Amino acid sequence: MSPIVGIDLGTTFSLVSVLAGGKPTVLPNALGELLTASAVSVEDDGTVLVGAPARARATTHPERTALGFKRDMGTDRVRTLERHTFSAPQLSALVLSALKRDAEAALGTKIEEAVITVPAYFGDLQRQATRDAGDLAGLKVERIINEPTAAALAYGLHHRDRELKAVVLDVGGGTFDVTILEIMEGVIEIQSSAGDARLGGDDFDATLAELLAKRFRDAYDVDVTADVRAAARVREAAEGLKRRLTEKERAGVALVDLPVGRGARSVETSVTREEAEEAWAPLLDRLRAPIHRALADAGLAPSKIDEVLLVGGATRMPCIARLAASTFGRLPLRALPPDEAIAMGASVQAALKEGQQAVEDVVVTDVAPFTLGIAITSEVGGHKVPGLFSPILERGTVIPASRVRRFTTIEDRQTRLKLEVFQGEHALCRDNQALGEWTVTEIPARGAGEEPIDVRFTYDLNGILEIDATIVSNGRTSTFVVERTPGRMSKKELEAARAGMKRLKIHPRETLPNRTALARADALYVELQGPARAELGQAIAAFAAALESQDGKLIDEIRGRLVSFTEDLRKSLR
């Protein structure tokens, strides 16, 4: 029987894991690395690169490279790379396909099913898009699990004998989730979830990039945002600067030959951690609101939290750790590797689905992160007011759940009723997110308010919503299926996309280390000047010659030298 794997499909990096010997194990990719970049790039000949080589090309070929597409899940946005156009589910499917191949190579067996994690604050459209991506990648995705719930599972697996209340702060590349949970005798009960689906480490990078751009504009009178390649290099420099400021109080940035106007300029500056945190202050404020909302929904004061768990790469930033400590009055824990915790938890959920003995005493519950309801028209002071939000399933409800509310017609002899479905927390529907609409027909023609209709919302463990409407007088029931919503692919579109992916020329997995070494070296070559640049150019030429020789042993030897030399040069720039 093929094992079920757990996949953390991240904004910046993705991972695949499996429970082996009772322990979650993150599987390596073709490079021997645990983290696979969520990046796709298309080369001149149409070959599609996924992972590290694609990410390296983001600075040298930004117009042919896609990053951060997880944020586009559930939308109609597409990316055009060379001659190919991709939706967010298609780009995500390419990453999932790479993880599937890596898992099959590591485990020596075919992989057909996966548990995939999503941010707790992903709505119905985004979860459906994630399932589409799994389908396109050839994976059966019967279970979708919230990221902080996955982290709690990984943590709870090692603390089954403890009783405590904990909060998981998950700051990933593009999303932020906060989940409050209780662990008691192997039962992990999620009590509340909140978050921001458009706030993560990428936003901290973007803010630093804006700070650098302003510094360069003031000091050198150049606009580094006017050229797409210059902007991409500044953005990469900002990401590296953020990482260095986690360890140092001050760090410098030097960029050579940035394309500006009709020429090129070399620029440099330095930034202190205090200056960076001042620029990040609005983002840190945005982190606080979901934390307080989650506490309120759980009915807990911060002092009642026993442990604070940090997951996600961005939680390495000292300002986030300080925010957590000041909010809860205790030092946060990194009991699990921040980058790996979610994937590890996904593999625990996969093992639960398989019925593995190692996790037979683990039970997990989850809650609905959003309130779900419909638009209604209400009569107020003799006036009919449309567009009011009527909740049916409240946020914080333990799932799976089914809730029903009774509504009535509002006009005499009304035979049709349009149901508009929304998710959100606002009183007016226009301020919430529309999920779809459909019309209930064949309602008996009676007076206004005389024909009741029961609307039932059923929300499953995957965060997928089904809706039934029953005309009470005749028992006629219709089920709502969202056929076309932004970002949701129809069956015909899925078939066409699946056929299109089969036609793509994917770079062979076995030669990925070679392509990655070249891409990383080329990205660094752009940053250098003088003797160091010339020396790296010679190393790249030597590796290109080795590739031409097709001598496997020589290729491995020269590639090792190039990788080591590239890494040494990169360290010297920090």
Task: Give me the DSSP letters along 252-310.
Answer: EEEEEEEEETTEEEEEEEEEEHHHHHHHHHHHHHHHHHHHHHHHHHHT--GGG--EEEE
- Position 332 pLDDT exceeds 60: yes
pLDDT at 270: 95
What secondary structure letter does DSSP report for 356? -
Mean pLDDT for the chain overall? 90
Residue 301 φ then ψ, to 5°: -85, 155
**pLDDT tens string 272-317:** 999 999 999 999 999 999 999 999 999 999 999 999 999 988 999 9
> Residue 17 pLDDT > 70, yes or no?
yes
CATH annotation of 372-472: 2.60.34.10
> Looking at 43, 124, 135, 147, which residue is catalytic?
147
The Cα 22–Cα 280 span in angstroms is 41
Task: Give rounded-to-5 percent helix, strand, coil for the chain.
Answer: 40, 30, 30
Q: 16 pLDDT band (50/70/90 cuts)?
A: very high
Helix (H, G, I), strand (E, B) or coil at 231: helix
For residue 288, count other CB atoms closer than 10 A to its CB: 13
Specify whether the backbone of 312 is left (phi greater than 0), alpha (psi in -120 to 50) or beta.
left
d(CA 31, CA 39): 15
The three-point CA angle 156-27-364 to 5° equals: 25
pLDDT tens digits, residue range 38-56?
A: 999 999 888 999 999 999 9
Per-residue pLDDT band at 334 (split at 50, 70, 90): confident
Cα–Cα distance for residue pair 122/516, rounded to 1 Å: 32
201-220 helix and 273-298 helix, angle to the nearest 10 degrees: 150
Q: Return d(Cα 391, Cα 455) in angstroms, integer.
A: 11
Give the separation between CA 354 and CA 371, rounded to whole angstroms.
Answer: 31
Per DSSP, 22 falls in state: T
Architecture of domain 1-158+337-361: 2-Layer Sandwich (3.30)
Please give the radius of gyration of the chain, using alpha carbons only, rounded to the nearest integer.
26
Encode pLDDT of 137-179 as tens digits: 999 997 899 898 898 888 877 766 778 899 999 998 888 999 9
% of residues, the chain, pLDDT over 70 = 97
Q: What φ, ψ does residue 384 adopt, rounded to 5°?
A: -90, 120
70 is catalytic: yes
Give the whole-angstrom CA distance, residue 236 versus residue 56. 10
* Among candidate residues 170, 379, 414, the one with its CA nearest the CA of residue 287: 170
Q: What is the pLDDT of residues 442-486, one digit of tens each?
A: 899 998 888 899 999 998 877 678 899 999 999 999 887 654 455
Catalytic residue, chosen from 43, 70, 196, 227, is 70
159-334, what's its fold? Nucleotidyltransferase; domain 5 (3.30.420)
The yes-or-no verdict on residue 420 having pLDDT over 90 is yes
Amino acid at position 485, single letter: T
Q: Which position among 43, 102, 124, 170 bears the catalytic label? A: 170
Task: Give the confidence band of 242 by pLDDT, cuts at 50, 70, 90.
Answer: very high
**Closest Cα to residue 408, out of 465, 455, 371, 373?**
455
Task: Give CA–CA dist 399/110, Å, rounded.
Answer: 32
Average pLDDT, integer, range 425-446:
90
DSSP class of 428 = B
DSSP 55-123: HHHHHH-GGGEEE-GGGGTTS--EEEETTEEEEHHHHHHHHHHHHHHHHHHHHTS---EEEEEE-TT--
Q: Is-catalytic flag, 163? A: no
523 SS3 class: helix
Q: What is the rounded CA–CA span in Å between residue 32 and residue 12?
A: 18
SS3 240: helix
- Name the active-site residue from 8, 366, 522, 527: 8
Tell me what pLDDT residue 484 has.
47
Cα distances (Å, whole numbers) of residue 186 to 156, 308, 449: 7, 19, 49
d(CA 434, CA 430): 8
pLDDT in tens, 80-138: 998 889 999 999 999 999 999 999 999 999 999 999 999 887 877 888 899 999 999 99
Q: What is the pTM of this model?
A: 0.85
CA distances from 400 to 19, 269, 459 (A): 25, 53, 6
pLDDT at residue 487 above 80? Answer: no
CA 386 to chain centre: 35
Task: Give the pLDDT of residue 482.
Answer: 54
